[in-house]
Amino acid sequence: MRDCSRLSRRAVLGLTAAALPLTAAVPAAATTVVGGERLARGGVQVLGAGGLPKKLTARAWLVADCETGEVLASFNAHRRLAPASTLKMLFADTLLTRFAPTLRYRVTDADLADVPLGSSLVGIKPGLTYTVDQLWQGVFLRSGNDAVHVLAHMNGGIDKTVAEMQARAGDLQALDTHVVSPDGFDHKGQISSAYDLTLFARHGLKNDDFRRYCGTRTADFPAGGKKTFQIQNTDRLLTGAWGLHTYDGLIGVKNGYTSHAGNTFTGAATRGGRTLLVTVMHPVAGSNAVYEQTAALLDWGFGEGRSAQAVGTLVTPLSEGGANATEAPAHRAARAAAGAPGTASGGRPSTLRLLEGAAGTAALLGAGAWALRRRFRTAPAAAGEGQGPDTGGRAARDVDESAAETAESGGRHRR
């Protein structure tokens, strides 16, 4: 709060309340940063254990116990970065129970018309009929944006799906996350954090279908008629692709890549009855680095990390009785600058955001937004941590590991 000394407490709380979904609005008395005050600090956070891997180049990472929710170690846990296709974990957590796996759906041209150019695709064709189970295989195994968009249109459209994803993030108290598109493609303002991605993975793994999909190595996918082609999971720790060894006990979860974001990965593994979650975001270049650093952190967690004292916790969703928390102070102004949560890629406010216009909140926003914008208009947000990805007019190259693998192999990925 030191940087906001010229602002009234009322103004700050006003902007915070208005910027979040109503389900995640922070009471005036709430002072605890989500996950614990220590996670709001920069740098490595660890207590009671040594031996952390020395060659960690990621811009942010986190190790947590999946069962207890204890954060065992972290580095810039709430740093806001482009999530790439790891955001599909939130997409799945939001929509996975909407449609029966056996439901059949005939894909139309309109379902695929808004898939971003350069997306990673599983190979869905208009006119063919797919089961919901097959569409989710396309999402999890090949990170197919075409499969994401078909499911989003089945759900009522992109804007509705984005709004529901933002509402789900609010319920999970993933306050660093701003959803612009359901597929994780590079869009200005689309951001998350190592903390939030770990929340998505932990909650998603409670669902048996989520757990099954993220742990599936290969599947046969429809090609028309009675023909199929095999798709392979792009999680290299799961399949042992590209010179990596499979990780003993790995159960998922999701990887992602864009030319803007680099590589991001959340992995979960079980050993000796204990399940750990690790998220690694944006390591120094090298397509295997995100997996190597994830494996190293998992090894640490199953080894020396056993003696670690918790430096934070993965909070309980509000809908499951979790207590309200607030986001890190340095990110409050950045959230306003990034745009309203739930704003779809076309820049239009989503249905969710329109529902947040309660009279009391609006009154607080009037004072808070004016004061904060005046204070921070020229100041960068926390060394750029609050800024969403901006391609600067360059052709965005998605997104997902399947496209990266094709580029490395010198082949052509289907567009």
- Please report, for residues 67, 147, 250, the alpha-carbon distance to residue 273 in angstroms, rounded to integers and kept in the order given: 10, 34, 13
Active site (annotated) includes residue 88:
yes
Active site (annotated) includes residue 74:
no
- Please report, for residues 173, 179, 308, 388, 405, the alpha-carbon distance to residue 40 in angstroms, rounded to integers and kept in the order given: 14, 21, 19, 19, 35
- 386 token code pair: 């609050």
Active site (annotated) includes residue 85:
yes
Choice among 85, 119, 259, 345 that is catalytic: 85
Name which of 7, 111, 14, 55 is nearest 300 in CA terms: 55
> What whole-number distance in Å separates Cα of residue 116 and Cα of residue 396?
9
Choice among 74, 88, 181, 259 that is catalytic: 88
Choice among 74, 120, 143, 259 that is catalytic: 143
Angle between helices 88-95 and 194-204 (to 10 degrees): 40
The answer for residues whose C-beta is within 8 angstroms of residue 71's C-beta and 6 or more apart is 35, 36, 39, 45, 62, 63, 64, 77, 195, 310, 311, 312, 313, 314
Please give the positions annotated as active site: 85, 88, 143
